[in-house]
């Protein structure tokens, strides 16, 4: 397929696919979940995507796109407008600033760094939510969400690796 596309189309496709993947993950996370839990907890799939592309291919997912995705997530997920945009940009900034270190390390180190980014974003989300609503929320659902996100990252990262390999062939 890549050989039949003009070079400019290939570059545009490469630029748009990580954004579309992240947008699809935001929409998946916003879908109502059938759960017996009082507060359904879903993994932060979009954060996984933003982290992955920020470490391994930041040129394919820019900061303005990350902000735009955060605003979309805010609109779809509810909550304070701008919260996810700020969290996504925070994760993007921290990750891109450390990407050269993370790229040269084995995956478990990148996974550990993802865990730290996830825990920080989760704590910020909880704190900002408490301040915004003037209510002290139970931190347990936030902690479960962070743990679920961290544990699922290697599995989801395999899908990102698969997509990255195919996109790199187009470059």
Sorted by sequence, the CB contacts under 8 Å of residue 171 that are 6+ apart come out as 10, 11, 14
Confidence of residue 36 (pLDDT cuts 50, 70, 90): low
Cβ 92 vs Cβ 66: under 8 Å: yes
Residue 50 in this model has a pLDDT that exceeds 60: yes
Average pLDDT over residues 50-79: 95
Average pLDDT over residues 66-91: 95
Query: How many Å apart are CA 149 and CA 118, to the nearest integer?
Result: 8
Among 29-38, 45-54, 126-135, the range scoring the smallest mean pLDDT is 29-38
Sorted by sequence, the CB contacts under 8 Å of residue 66 that are 6+ apart come out as 50, 88, 89, 92
Q: Which domains does the chain have, with CATH numbers?
A: 2-31+40-170 (1.10.1760)
Confidence of residue 34 (pLDDT cuts 50, 70, 90): low
> In this structure, how many other beta carbons lie within 10 angstroms of the beta carbon of residue 66?
25
Q: Is 134 strand, coil or helix? A: coil
Confidence of residue 31 (pLDDT cuts 50, 70, 90): confident
For the stretch 98-157, pLDDT in tens is 999 999 999 999 999 999 999 999 999 999 999 999 999 999 999 999 999 999 999 999
Q: Tell me, what's the pLDDT at 161?
A: 96
Q: Kindly state the DSSP code that residue 123 receives in the 8-state scheme.
A: H
Query: How many Å apart are CA 137 and CA 101, to the nearest integer?
Result: 36
Average pLDDT over residues 82-102: 97
Residue 160 in this model has a pLDDT that exceeds 60: yes
For the stretch 3-14, pLDDT in tens is 677 888 888 888
Query: How many Å apart are CA 122 and CA 36, to the nearest integer?
Result: 23
């Amino acid at each position: 397929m890549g050989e039949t596309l003009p070079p400019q189309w290939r570059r545009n496709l490469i630029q748009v696919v990580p954004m579309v993947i992240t947008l699809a993950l935001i929409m998946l996370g916003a879908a109502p979940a059938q759960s017996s839990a009082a507060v359904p907890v879903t993994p932060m799939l979009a954060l996984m995507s933003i982290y992955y592309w920020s470490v391994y291919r930041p040129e394919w997912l820019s900061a303005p796109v990350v902000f735009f995705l955060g605003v979309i997530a805010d609109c779809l997920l509810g909550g304070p407008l701008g919260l996810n945009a700020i969290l996504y940009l925070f994760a993007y900034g921290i990750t891109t600033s450390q990407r050269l270190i993370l790229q040269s390390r084995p995956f478990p180190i990148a996974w550990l760094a993802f865990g730290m980014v996830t825990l920080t974003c989760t704590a910020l989300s909880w704190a900002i939510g408490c301040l915004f609503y003037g209510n002290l929320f139970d931190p347990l659902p936030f902690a479960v969400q962070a743990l679920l996100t961290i544990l699922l990252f290697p599995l989801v990262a395999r899908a990102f690796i698969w997509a990255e390999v195919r996109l790199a062939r187009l470059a």
